[in-house]
């Protein structure tokens, strides 16, 4: 019996940053998925990992990321990478979250960055995401979650197992009664190994069909 529904944010509730990465890559004349490739290199100790664990400021991330890109033969503007993290809320997912919040415990599990105040013009996506069609604000979305687990706040990140343990501890549930939605398979593997049911979000409509089948309530 499912007691908790856990949602990733970017790529699930919010449009995927990979789409914005690809637009920047096309504009800059870079090969498709260059940024994802850099982030996948030394994934536990690269600039991205340090930034998501709250260990780097925005300025430090930009400097480190640009250096990593250069080592791989690419010239990339790190501030554009951060700017690409802004997205648009997905109305269907927001509605599904609303319905889940009435019937289950809910949590946001997000790898994110601490929003900088003013560092060389660098801004974080957290305070400047888009608004969905029914007028929901970001604050209203946050209020639908019982818990929000942020990598920059807890000092660990997906796919580190401790991240999922923290979510379960805060919700006071066992992994076996949770279903978790994320757009990255690497983030789903530890959750599944712990006993959670998992859904990979590629097409949001298909993902919601899968979630409906698991929790047995209509979401749209």
pLDDT tens figures, 106-139: 999 999 886 544 444 443 433 344 444 455 678 8
Average pLDDT of the chain is 89
The percent of residues above 90 in pLDDT, for the chain, comes to 76
Query: pTM, whole model, 2 decimals?
Result: 0.83
Q: How confident is the model at residue 191 (pLDDT cuts 50, 70, 90)?
A: very high
What pLDDT score was predicted for residue 84?
84
**Whole-angstrom Cα distance, residue 113 to residue 96?**
25
Whether residue 64 has pLDDT greater than 60: yes
Whether residue 210 has pLDDT greater than 50: yes
Overall size of the chain counted in residues: 220
Instruction: Count Cα atoms within 13 angstroms, Cβ side, for 112.
Output: 22
Instruction: Count Cα atoms within 13 angstroms, Cβ side, for 79.
Output: 8
Say if CB 153 and CB 165 are below 8 A apart. no
Q: How confident is the model at residue 16 (pLDDT cuts 50, 70, 90)?
A: confident
* CA gyration radius, the chain: 17
- CATH 1.10.150 residue spans of the chain: 17-83
Q: Which residues of 108-132 are buried (b: 16+ CB within 10 A; e: fewer)?
A: bbbbbbbebeebeebbbbbeebeeb
Say if CB 25 and CB 32 are below 8 A apart. yes
**Per-residue DSSP letters for 41-79?**
SSTTTSHHHHHHTT-S-HHHHHHHHHHHHHHTT----HH
Whether residue 28 has pLDDT greater than 70: yes
CATH topology for 17-83 is DNA polymerase; domain 1 (1.10.150)
**Whole-angstrom Cα distance, residue 199 to residue 211?**
7
What pLDDT score was predicted for residue 6?
98
- CATH 3.40.50.1000 residue spans of the chain: 4-16+87-215
CATH class for domain 4-16+87-215? alpha beta
């Amino acid at each position: 019996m499912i007691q908790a529904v856990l949602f990733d944010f970017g790529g699930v509730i919010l449009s995927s940053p990979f789409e914005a990465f690809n637009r920047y890559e096309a504009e800059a004349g870079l090969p498709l998925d260059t940024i994802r490739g850099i982030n996948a290199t030394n994934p536990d100790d690269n600039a991205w990992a340090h930034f998501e664990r709250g260990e780097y400021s925005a300025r430090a991330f930009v400097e480190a990321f640009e250096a990593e890109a250069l080592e791989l033969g690419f010239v990339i503007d790190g501030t554009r990478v951060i700017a690409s993290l802004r997205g648009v809320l997905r109305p269907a997912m927001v509605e599904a979250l609303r319905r889940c919040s009435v019937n289950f415990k809910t949590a946001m599990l997000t790898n994110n960055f601490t929003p900088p105040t003013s560092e060389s013009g660098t801004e974080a996506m957290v305070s400047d995401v888009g608004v969905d069609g029914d007028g929901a604000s970001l604050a209203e979305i946050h209020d639908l979650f019982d818990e929000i687990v942020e990598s920059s706040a807890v000092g660990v990140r997906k796919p580190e197992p401790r991240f999922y343990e923290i979510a379960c501890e805060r919700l006071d549930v066992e992994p076996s009664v949770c279903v978790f939605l994320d757009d990255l398979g690497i983030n789903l593997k530890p959750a599944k190994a712990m006993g959670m049911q998992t859904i990979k979000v590629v097409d949001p409509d298909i993902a919601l069909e899968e979630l409906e089948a698991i929790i047995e309530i209509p979401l749209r």
